[in-house]
Structure 1
């Protein structure tokens, strides 16, 4: 039974997250419905990560076991035909080894959070970025983000509903870009690690915005981290600006 890796892009706004749910729209359900148009007895797909309600992806990765051989390009084209008009598409498909796994073979995940500071409401990118009305101190946020790098107990930045066995993770990158946009500034927060805790990125960004707004000092981020207490976290930001932006593998199939 040939196995195929799928690189998937989606707008998470219409969905109740990635994971398939009974009677609720999900990205996984949409892709599996498209696969059943090609193979009625198709079972299910496995993904590199489960994004929450409203979270987007530019490069989610999943794998599917098919009953027959497919040309990867034709498989992606067929799936995109059956995914219309949903805001989901397969960017690429590739045949992989039988023991390759979208989740367990992954060696890193990359997330992007987009935040726009401007007074005017958003029109074209409404729902795709988080808008705040005031500009942020990017240098202060960069200093604060430096305290998050490396291996730590991230209990402060972990949802109380997180099911991970341990709050200890290693954050390999926490980088903030400042980009001029019409009538405002966009801050792009880049995070990279082997794996993340539930709500960890949104908790990071919410706390960093406290620093950028002047409510916290950069050192307060270190204090919050070392507290290992969820109550020490800043406000958790909305999902609008969060994207699963990449999944890394030792042998990238794409």
Structure 2
């Protein structure tokens, strides 16, 4: 199974954000999407989860395939989103719910799990992301890095085929960023299927199986991570010299 976006075009008020972009993210691999700000990275990721609807093209994940433009029912959107969970830059946790209630809300209401089953799974996931002692805490009692790790646990609780990360560490300082990328690297090492938009080249070098490099809404590189970092393409070398830390 793969996640594939084929010939995707997306415009905003006459501005072309994505221009005939085709992306395949293989299962059990980490696909990292790189590129300068404004290149269309987040828009492409949001199209994969139907948070943005392409003007044209096709989205295929598992046995679900949608051609655009299309009038999508709530059921079609739910089917796609059941297969991929998004982790956002801004955490998007419910501040009035405890950590464990944030994690169990989706599995109980959407997946039909019992409350006890969902809580048992949530406790296991909190242990996995290093927050076993924070189940009863509230988001505002946590650091940004801890909140993002809760958001990852919440995404995992939905048992998605793919985890989509939209610049998950860009709002964090380096120490908290390390907490989050460590969890993401562990998921990658377990052969989870990840698609990650990031500027963190250290994470990309260490973790990516595949790199997609976007610029001006077009794909300039699509291939193995080693080939990207060893590329002689002058534009890629310039990008790496600016963003590499």
Using the size of structure 2 for normalisation, the TM-score is 0.24
Larger radius of gyration: 1
Name the structure with the higher strand share: 1
Using the size of structure 1 for normalisation, the TM-score is 0.24
Name the structure with the higher helix share: 2
